[in-house]
Amino acid sequence: MFKMSFLNISPFKRYPGNPILKKGDIPYPVNTVFNAAACKYNNMIYLLLRIEDKKGISHLTLARSDNGFDFKVDPYPFLTPADYEPFKTYEKFGIEDPRITYFEDGTYYILYTANSYYRPRIAIAKTCDFKKVERISLISEPINKNAVLFSEKIKRKFVRLDRPDDESIWISYSPDLIYWGESKILLSPRTGKWDCHKLGAAIPPIKTKKGWLVLYHGVRFTAAGRLYRVGGALLDLENPERVIGISDGFLFGPEELYERVGDVGNVVFPCGAILEGNGEVKLYYGAADSCIAIATSNLSDLIDCCSFKCENGSRRI
């Protein structure tokens, strides 16, 4: 294990074969593919891709791989905007940016953004076999997005992170995945730093012996537009409202041409990660809103990066 000594050293290493999925890899006409959730099922890695069609409406399609790098995309969507209420009204402009959380009972919960005239809000669905999928509920009011679900209950309640104010990461609790409350601000933009304008949870929190590892995207507005990069934070296992530490600098940012140039340039936007038995973390991210790529790191290195103490706890720092 090595300690991160310099802020400009990233713990992530890009896969030389990036990008792993482009619009030409989708077996039907699309505008673009990006922002994929990730999980393991039947000893394979599944990606749930956000695909935007040529009308500008997003839906979700599955891709499968036995090595985590080479994927075969399904010939048809897995989840499309609903044609029945109450979902139809709030998914009219598409369903976006999924995250998948696995529970020990064999259920895979899918949190995604429903978009419509009324702005984005969070919805949740579930599957046990990736053949049938069932919508559960719309679980927030507009404007809200970037929701991730913890992989187990804490004090007998489901726990989620989201961004209801278009700026900060909040934490909320639920007895049943439908009704949510006890909401509190967890992390806010840091004035003058790389994540000074808005934050959003990237992947479902990873449980480690030292705490819940949360990777998040941080946004800084520049003269050329928004710049999306990735940071990390560590939350207390029993009280995830307590921030143990955070990365002072960003851990991963756009450098390669496929991350710099696309429908929305200068974006790396993870929605899924796989933790392997050897401690390797496979991070799947949308690049420039135009393709999907992968970067790998070591879990212990990521934890080491989250050592900067928050002077004000979970409030604005």
The CATH number given to whatever domain includes residue 120 is 2.115.10.20
Could you tell me if 58 and 50 are in contact, meaning their C-beta atoms sit under 8 angstroms apart? yes
Residue carrying structure tokens 């005239």: 117
Q: Within a domain: residue 8?
A: no
State the sign of the Cα–Cα–Cα–Cα dihedral 113, 114, 115, 120: negative
- Per-residue model confidence (pLDDT) at position 141: 96
- Per-residue model confidence (pLDDT) at position 273: 98
Given a cut of 50, whether residue 142 has pLDDT beyond it is yes
Q: Within a domain: residue 136?
A: yes
- Per-residue model confidence (pLDDT) at position 311: 58
Q: Residues in the chain, how many?
A: 317
**Total number of domains in the chain:** 1
Residues of the chain above pLDDT 70, percent: 95
246 forms bridges with which residues in the sheet?
233, 308
Range of the domain at 227: 27-305
Gap between the Cα atoms of 58 and 176, Å rounded: 28
Given a cut of 90, whether residue 113 has pLDDT beyond it is yes
Q: Which residues contact 29 (CB under 8 A, 6 or more apart)?
A: 53, 54
Gap between the Cα atoms of 317 and 314, Å rounded: 8
Q: Within a domain: residue 20?
A: no
Structure confidence by residue, pLDDT tens digits, 155-174: 999 999 999 999 999 999 99
Helix (H, G, I), strand (E, B) or coil at 25: helix
Residue carrying structure tokens 């420039």: 288
Gap between the Cα atoms of 89 and 81, Å rounded: 9
Q: Within a domain: residue 12?
A: no
Gap between the Cα atoms of 263 and 22, Å rounded: 13
- Per-residue model confidence (pLDDT) at position 317: 45
Gap between the Cα atoms of 75 and 60, Å rounded: 12
Give the pLDDT mean for 253-279.
Answer: 97
pTM value is: 0.95
- Per-residue model confidence (pLDDT) at position 228: 98
Q: Within a domain: residue 286?
A: yes
Could you tell me if 8 and 251 are in contact, meaning their C-beta atoms sit under 8 angstroms apart? no
DSSP code of 124?
E
Gap between the Cα atoms of 206 and 219, Å rounded: 22
91 forms bridges with which residues in the sheet?
none
Q: Within a domain: residue 190?
A: yes
Q: How confident is the model at residue 309 (pLDDT cuts 50, 70, 90)?
A: confident
Q: Within a domain: residue 130?
A: yes
Given a cut of 90, whether residue 5 has pLDDT beyond it is no
Gap between the Cα atoms of 220 and 190, Å rounded: 10
Q: Within a domain: residue 7?
A: no
